[in-house]
Chain A
Amino acid sequence: MAAESLLKVQAVETYYGNIRALAGVDVEVNKGEIVSLIGANGAGKSTLMMTICGAPQARAGSIIFDGEDITKLPTHLIARRRIAQSPEGRRIFPRMTVYENLQMGAGLDNLKYFSEDVEKIFALFPRLKERQTQRGGTLSGGEQQMLSIGRALMARPKLLLLDEPSLGLAPLIVKGIFEAIKKLNQEEGLTVFLVEQNAFAALKLSDRAYVMVNGKVTMSGSGKELLANPEVRAAYLEGGRH
């Protein structure tokens, strides 16, 4: 199968002030894939995610999305290229209702496909339908994560970026969310780039994966390969297995 590249991160370096957070990262995501990025705390996983979104911008290297260089674009224009993100810590709008949160996600098309898409989200996450008139801030953690993903999906993304969707959630809810991601990928052909600390679940879900250590990609391969790799097992899986 001739994989068509959707996102290509090449030799990207990102700095916070004078501190280098990413030291030349190469990552590629093909259309229709689920790719995950695993690594320890502070490895630079979220920084890579934010760099793709242009906040902060990469100081060196390039980010090509769908054949276009987006390295120096401001965040909102990157989002308008249909890269949707469910950010770390979910960042839903707490005083707006679930329904309004979803509306905010559909702002790019000025709510043109809203009624159609909102039904899809409600079918994917029935809990959100029950909670639609409730304020975002009153939802449980799992529901907020569903809302955050749902809001990102409302933008009809070509690429969905998920930053730690399992953070602070019960294993059963994590399982449900990962199943929903799998379903979206299989049924809609959605491309997903996932950052996770929950390495086992992420690797099982992914077509391919990258391992990041200290701002560098140290290993890559298919999800199965990495799951079987003794180094990965020792560093990220043993003892941390759900």
Chain B
Amino acid sequence: MTASTETGHPNVLAKAVREGLFAGVIAFFMFLLFVGIETYQDINNTLVWRTRWGLLAVFVAVAAVGRFLTVGFIKPHIDRRKLAKAKSGVLEISENKSFFHRHFLKIALIFLVLYPFLSLMIVGKQGSLKYVDNFGIQILIYVMLAWGLNIVVGLAGLLDLGYVAFYAVGAYSYALLSSYFGFSFWLLLPMSGILAALWGIILGFPVLRLRGDYLAIVTLAFGEIIRLVLINWTDVTKGTFGISGIAKASFFGIWSFDSGTTNNFVKAWGLSASSVYYKVFLFYVILALCMLTAYVTIRLRRMPIGRAWEALREDEIACRSLGINTVTTKLTAFATGAMFGGFAGAFFATRQGFVSPESFVFLESAVILAIVVLGGMGSLTGIAIAAVVMVGGTEVLREMAFLKVVFGPDFTPELYRMLLFGLAMIIVMLFKPRGFVGSREPTAFLKERKAVSGSFTKEGHG
């Protein structure tokens, strides 16, 4: 028994060779037409083809060798490690974690608070624009959106593919009310949230009886409806042109960031003119909004409504038999999730100064949902990490100009973004099917905390 799991055992090696050859054959036929043959136009503008046997050979070799190594060495190694772990009796979540592990959240928060200053110190004002705005603010917006969607998908278990609709409602609420009536950001921020929550309830009513796939389709349609209304209701929304010149947020009405005003922040503090101060200010605004979202989520999970959400995700019928009103439970989940989407939308509008339906396409919903799923549904930490990886990854790709040296001047790394995301997702889902942080943190403890990894438990059905 044990002998066959050892590396280098003839059985395993023979199997690895067989599977490697098999993978090579499959790869040969799969790539024969895609890679092995190339079409191009010759001088007479006729389409001709030539073969690329060398490249095809590389593809086949990679597949065969990869499969050989996986079956022959990597798989037995992983199996042995798992076996050793199981024998030692230590569960996946052990009590003795490293200092960094235990204080991860505090360290991350301190880092975020200091982040703009660190960036200013290291790369100066002009360089900071990129790091604070493109990385900091951009990532935090997605963290907030994903945390908002997490309430609907992660906690209440209602698959929502149209979350971007609430983001759009929030953004347009701010853009329209501010440009038509001149209300300030701090007044419109809560109002955008409330309006988005209202739309959350409006969406909630027709989908109360739906679950799973059916719910996903209807929410997807809802997201598209909102976008189409924004495009076609040109009298109000200016259609595809979008709304530009949206007012900047002020420092609670004390200082303004518009140049030329008397209470201009830069003048008031005697600083040299730069847009970086506004970006740093926005960074702290979105950071505060994120913290609010996290705080509310954590608090709600310990309250009856939060428990009801989680119970609803696990088993709807059991919920009802325990006296939980599933109608209000679902509606509050939609409304709460939508509200945070609305906040994020209002913030997005004031940060961009311009909104158009372009920003609220289905792909946005998909990216936000991908962040939630990759991070681990229900886990705030996991989702934040996933947002950093996904959104930060996109920005990093833009920086990869040096790759042009390798792949030629026509190579634009951003275009490979979705390819890399797809790859990353498949890998994460293969090795961590429940996301980065897959185990659900209990909300109630009696004495000691002894958690069993979530991967040992079955999914709820119902």
Q: Nearest Cβ in chain B — how far from A156, in angstroms?
A: 11
Check: B209 CB closer than 8 A to any chain A CB.
Answer: no
Q: Is the CB of A137 within 8 A of B318?
A: no
Q: Nearest Cβ in chain B — how far from A7, in angstroms?
A: 16
Check: B323 CB closer than 8 A to any chain A CB.
Answer: yes
Q: Is the CB of A107 within 8 A of B323?
A: yes
Q: Is the CB of A79 within 8 A of B440?
A: no
- Which of A15-23, A97-105, A178-186 is the contact stretch? A97-105
Which residue on A lies nearest to B326, using beta carbons?
A76
Q: Is the CB of B311 within 8 A of A93?
A: yes
Which residue on A lies nearest to B324, using beta carbons?
A76
User: Interface on chain B toward A: helix, strand, loop, or mixed SS?
Assistant: loop
Which residue on A lies nearest to B325, using beta carbons?
A76
Check: A91 CB closer than 8 A to any chain B CB.
Answer: yes
Check: A94 CB closer than 8 A to any chain B CB.
Answer: yes
CA distance A104 to B318 in the complex (A): 10
The verdict on A79 contacting B310 (CB below 8 Å), with A99-B446, A100-B442, A133-B449 known, is no
Q: Is the CB of B456 within 8 A of A138?
A: yes
Which residue on B lies nearest to A100, using beta carbons?
B444
Which B residues are in CB contact (< 8 Å) with A105? 322
Check: B460 CB closer than 8 A to any chain A CB.
Answer: yes
Check: B454 CB closer than 8 A to any chain A CB.
Answer: yes
**How many A-B contacts are there with CB distance less than 8 Å?**
105
Check: A37 CB closer than 8 A to any chain B CB.
Answer: no
Number of chain A residues whose Cβ lies closer than 8 Å to a Cβ of chain B:
35
CA distance A229 to B448 in the complex (A): 54
Which B residues are in CB contact (< 8 Å) with A55? 317, 320
Partner of A107, one of B304, B443, B446: B304
Q: Is the CB of A93 within 8 A of B446?
A: no
Q: Is the CB of B444 within 8 A of A95?
A: no
Partner of B321, one of A87, A95, A99: A87
Q: Is the CB of A135 within 8 A of B452?
A: yes
Check: A85 CB closer than 8 A to any chain B CB.
Answer: yes
CA distance A104 to B314 in the complex (A): 12
Which residue on B lies nearest to A86, using beta carbons?
B321
Q: Is the CB of A76 within 8 A of B457?
A: no
Which A residues are in CB contact (< 8 Å) with B445? 99, 133
Q: Is the CB of A93 within 8 A of B326?
A: no
Check: A159 CB closer than 8 A to any chain B CB.
Answer: no
Check: B462 CB closer than 8 A to any chain A CB.
Answer: yes
Partner of A79, one of B307, B320, B446: B320
Which A residues are in CB contact (< 8 Å) with B315? 91-93
User: Interface on chain A toward B: helix, strand, loop, or mixed SS?
Assistant: mixed
Which A residues are in CB contact (< 8 Å) with B321? 53, 75, 79, 84-85, 87, 91
Check: B213 CB closer than 8 A to any chain A CB.
Answer: no
Q: Is the CB of A138 within 8 A of B323?
A: no
Which B residues are in CB contact (< 8 Å) with A80? 323
Which A residues are in CB contact (< 8 Å) with B109? none
Check: B308 CB closer than 8 A to any chain A CB.
Answer: yes
CA distance A145 to B304 in the complex (A): 24
The verdict on A151 contacting B452 (CB below 8 Å), with A55-B317, A97-B442, A99-B444 known, is no
Which B residues are in CB contact (< 8 Å) with A100? 307, 442-444
CA distance A107 to B317 in the complex (A): 15
Which B residues are in CB contact (< 8 Å) with A25? none
Q: Nearest Cβ in chain B — how far from A32, in angstroms?
A: 23
Check: B225 CB closer than 8 A to any chain A CB.
Answer: no
Check: A96 CB closer than 8 A to any chain B CB.
Answer: yes
Which A residues are in CB contact (< 8 Å) with B235? none
Check: A110 CB closer than 8 A to any chain B CB.
Answer: yes
Which B residues are in CB contact (< 8 Å) with A136? 457
Which B residues are in CB contact (< 8 Å) with A95? 310, 314, 440, 454, 457, 459-460
Which B residues are in CB contact (< 8 Å) with A97? 442, 444
B311-345 Cβ-contact flags toward A at 8 Å (1 or 0) = 10011011011111110000000000000000000
Check: B87 CB closer than 8 A to any chain A CB.
Answer: no
Q: 8 interchain pairs (CB within 8 A)? A: A93-B460, A94-B314, A95-B440, A100-B444, A103-B444, A108-B323, A133-B451, A151-B322
Given contacts A91-B321, A92-B315, A95-B310, 14 further A-B contacts (CB under 8 A): A55-B317, A74-B320, A79-B322, A79-B323, A80-B323, A87-B317, A92-B318, A93-B310, A94-B458, A97-B444, A107-B308, A133-B445, A136-B457, A155-B323
- Considering the complex of A and B, which 6 residue pairs feature the smallest CB-CB distances, nearest first? A137-B457, A79-B323, A93-B314, A91-B318, A75-B320, A137-B458
